[in-house]
Structure 1
Amino acid sequence: MYAPPWSILCLRAYVLERTRHTCIFLDCRQYTHLEKEFIEAVKTVPSPRLLVVNATTENIGQASAILEMAKRHFPETRTVLFGSYPSAFPDHAVNLPWADYALAGDPEPILRNLLDYMDVERRLQRVPGLVIPRVQSATPYWLTDLKSLSMPDWHGLFWSAYQVGANRGTCRAEMKLSRGHSHCPSDRIFGGMDEPLRTWPLDRAAMTLLKCAHLGVTEVFLTDPPGIWTVERLSQWCKALRMVRNSQPWGLRLLPTFIDDETLADMEFTMCRRVEFVYPSCDPDILKQYGCTIEPAHLAAMMTVMKEYNIQTVVRFLVGGPEESKPEELRIQQTIASLNYCRYVMQSMPLVFDAPLYRAFGSQPGTPRPDEWLQWTIHPWIEEKPVCLWGGKEALSRIEDIMQDAHSAIQHSWKRIFRGLFSRVLTTNWILAAEDRAVGLLPSALPHPDE
């Protein structure tokens, strides 16, 4: 999702509220000429500077390239790497070039200690979770809860730069109610398995959501893994939004599951406007391993009800997982047909090295290894970016063919075409359409004033 990363916004808010330092937010995705614009942006920050870069597994090479540019043009600037990659692989972070430090665990308290003891080397070596590349690794440091951390207030960001879609009318923000892994079967594909699950206080989270209602943000999407959304937590979240009288539209993602009418009414009242259902597989036996037991026809009926509550739905299909067997594209077609040809998106199954699914199937032949990404960080401008897919580079064309074949078969389905025409017939006000047509023909039927 194209939005300011939630983890960076939380770290930025903590620095501004809990330290004596100032900071600015840079999003290199917005730069047309990366190096030139990056240098100009860094120059606006007075020395001494500290550059903190977010790094996930998938973008670790790009993060390393940013660090290399910073060291090449501003050698006196100290650089810090944080995010899911150094937290999941602190031993790899020791070997990262161009990084003076890496934060393994919750970055806020580690960064604060780093800022306080920057020039006291002995003290830095005793900071929990602080990795000093080429000197020492560290065990990830996790807080017991999130009460002591700060939540963003959304200010100081150029939200117009994140507008996308038709006429640039959609602007989304990312938000999370949790950190860590639920260890539920539904979260098998999500990373952070070694991070304990913690949730933000829901009353504070509700106020944070409300704060962006006047900034032009059309939707705040909650990117938490589906495993945290129990019936009780969803009800508590809606209750917290009721208490603050929320007016900001929001959405969330779930695995295919049943939502009762009372909960749907609460979601509508609290401005929930979109739910994304994620299908990790269309094989019923595999879906049971994720805890999904609802039939596609029943899900389709529930999505029809959700429309009456002004909640849009979209189904996301993950293609090319390690447990799939042929013919995968046929199962996708059948599932979409059972869902009454709903709105859908297809993407490749994410490859996450610290996810339960990888630990179970990562030894399969052709599956990429974390070492390939470490090599990419050493030569980010030269080495080709590793393919982050189950099966590696050889699986790329196969997954593309599966998605193309499934999409083509769905688009040319006579059942889908007939259903669309029939729906249009039912929803069109033909009397009003005939009146509009008659009014449009009226001027040509009247005599000209000069006749």
Structure 2
Amino acid sequence: MKALFLKPPAGLAFKNIVRDFVYGCWCNGRRIGGMQMPPLNDLYVATHARQSGIEVLFLDASMEPDRYGDLLNSRCADIFAVVLMSSTQSFRQDVATIRAIKDLNPQVRSILYGSHPTFMPEYCLKEDVVDYIVLREAEETIRCLLRAIANGEPVDREPGVGWRTAGGEIRINPARPLMNLDDLPIPDRSLLPEKVSYFNPVVKRLPYTTMQTSRGCPGRCIYCTSPAFYGNRYRLRSVPRVMEELREIVRIGYREVFFRDETFTVSRSRVREICEAMLSEGLDLKWIANGRVDMVDEPTMQLMKRAGCHMLKFGVETGEDEILKVYRKGATCDQAREAFRAARAAGLSTHAHIIFGGPGETQQTIDKTIRFVKSI
């Protein structure tokens, strides 16, 4: 019997919607924000689960509709559990997907993890087809939960799990302590669909993949879910472990990496160590990363450029300093202007994330933000 790790079908109109573990569901439309991301968090969870001897079936149904159809036609006969990452935006669709699977095989146990189960666990468990939810960082909790389900063991003392008792009462256990990131396995990218290139308008070289070298962020921005997920902690994988995965990525044929760290540039000394290691090993990779405008400098960005970086993404948010204070961003418009200037001087492309409609927003501040973004 297998555990099915499923990225549900999205339908033709929404094929390139990204399911993000921390931030939920986002992006549609090829010309502006639309992109497709290899489902990295799903790969982490599935690869980690196999360390308990669980047989894993990984299926990105948005990319493999025929294979998904074959699974349904088999009535999910050899599946004992289905694991889905769910967000507020996708929750209703996810429930419908689980219901369709359970209609075919009522013995399948369902597990939801991600932003919606973390922030609204009771709401999720009110749905009769949702058997378990997992809070916050999911890898170790899902590994232990699947082992318990497979062995017919109780889950009532399993940290980070929510479930219903035989009498229908909802129970939510306290979240599991966060992991040492070096204890996570390198995600098994052979689980991804064969001969599929995920679309991304900012990637220069295909095939590309995603990767994490850290989790969390030292920022305390009021709009961001990262602190709630990761407990106001910033955790790093060791540089040798990062390099081990980068070498594996090159070995299996990837030509570009999008580092999906919330803030790759928190530790400039570590960024320099990674870049110098990439250069010394001659890794032929282009790459993209996320940064903060108050956590970059021109010499570091010059080194990043030499090591293969071609784009940095920044959360600019607004062109109004008073709104940045409301957001508790911890950065200023002047710092954003300088970061973009320095990035251009280093030869890097830039990407500005903007928020419209937050607390204190007016038509005047929206217009000011548009002018500001055009100016940087």
| TM-score band, normalised by shorter chain | 0.7 to 0.9
Partner residue of 2:199 out of 154, 164, 167: 164
AA partner of residue 180 (structure 2):
D
Range with bigger deviation, 188-197 or 294-303: 294-303
AA partner of residue 177 (structure 1):
T
Residue number in structure 2 paired with 1:247:
284
Change (3 A) 1:75 1:111: same
Query: Is the counterpart of residue 79 in structure 1 residue 110 in structure 2?
Result: yes
SS of residue matched to 1:99: coil
Partner residue of 1:152 out of 177, 181, 187: 187
Q: Deviations over 1:281-320 (max 9, x none)?
A: 111222354122335653453233122xxx3223333322
When the two structures are superposed, what TM-score results if normalisation uses the length of structure 1? 0.64
Change (3 A) 1:300 1:262: closer
Cα distance in 2 for partners of 1:188, 1:206 equals: 33
Query: Is the counterpart of residue 20 in structure 1 residue 53 in structure 2?
Result: yes
Higher strand share: 2
Residue number in structure 2 paired with 1:290:
329
AA partner of residue 223 (structure 2):
I
AA partner of residue 151 (structure 1):
I
Change (3 A) 1:5 1:24: same
Cα distance in 2 for partners of 1:155, 1:122 equals: 31
When the two structures are superposed, what TM-score results if normalisation uses the length of structure 2? 0.76
Q: Percent identity?
A: 20
Cα distance in 1 for partners of 2:96, 2:335 equals: 46
Residue number in structure 1 paired with 2:63:
30
Partner residue of 2:344 out of 301, 304, 311: 304
Shift in Å, 1:216: 5.2
Change (3 A) 1:159 1:243: farther
Cα distance in 1 for partners of 2:299, 2:265 equals: 20
Change (3 A) 1:105 1:253: closer
Cα distance in 2 for partners of 1:23, 1:213 equals: 25
Question: Are 2:182 and 2:241, in contact at CA under 8 Å, matched by a contact in 1?
Answer: no
Higher helix share: 1
Cα distance in 2 for partners of 1:152, 1:284 equals: 40
AA partner of residue 72 (structure 1):
D
Root mean square deviation of aligned Cα: 3.0
Question: Are 2:85 and 2:114, in contact at CA under 8 Å, matched by a contact in 1?
Answer: yes
SS of residue matched to 1:52: strand
Question: Are 2:302 and 2:346, in contact at CA under 8 Å, matched by a contact in 1?
Answer: no
Residue number in structure 2 paired with 1:200:
237
Cα distance in 2 for partners of 1:103, 1:269 equals: 41
Shift in Å, 1:214: 5.0
Cα distance in 1 for partners of 2:315, 2:46 equals: 31
Partner residue of 1:190 out of 224, 238, 245: 224
Query: Is the counterpart of residue 56 in structure 1 residue 56 in structure 2?
Result: no
- Flag structure 2 segments of 5+ consecutive residues without an equivalent: 1-34
Shift in Å, 1:175: 2.2
Question: Are 2:85 and 2:112, in contact at CA under 8 Å, matched by a contact in 1?
Answer: yes
Partner residue of 1:41 out of 71, 79, 94: 71
Partner residue of 1:142 out of 177, 182, 205: 177
Query: Is the counterpart of residue 221 in structure 1 residue 255 in structure 2?
Result: no
Change (3 A) 1:119 1:230: closer
Question: Are 1:177 and 1:205, in contact at CA under 8 Å, matched by a contact in 2?
Answer: yes
Range with bigger deviation, 170-179 or 75-84: 170-179
Shift in Å, 1:137: 1.9
Cα distance in 2 for partners of 1:334, 1:129 equals: 45
Query: Is the counterpart of residue 117 in structure 1 residue 154 in structure 2?
Result: no
- Flag structure 1 segments of 5+ consecutive residues without an equivalent: 340-451
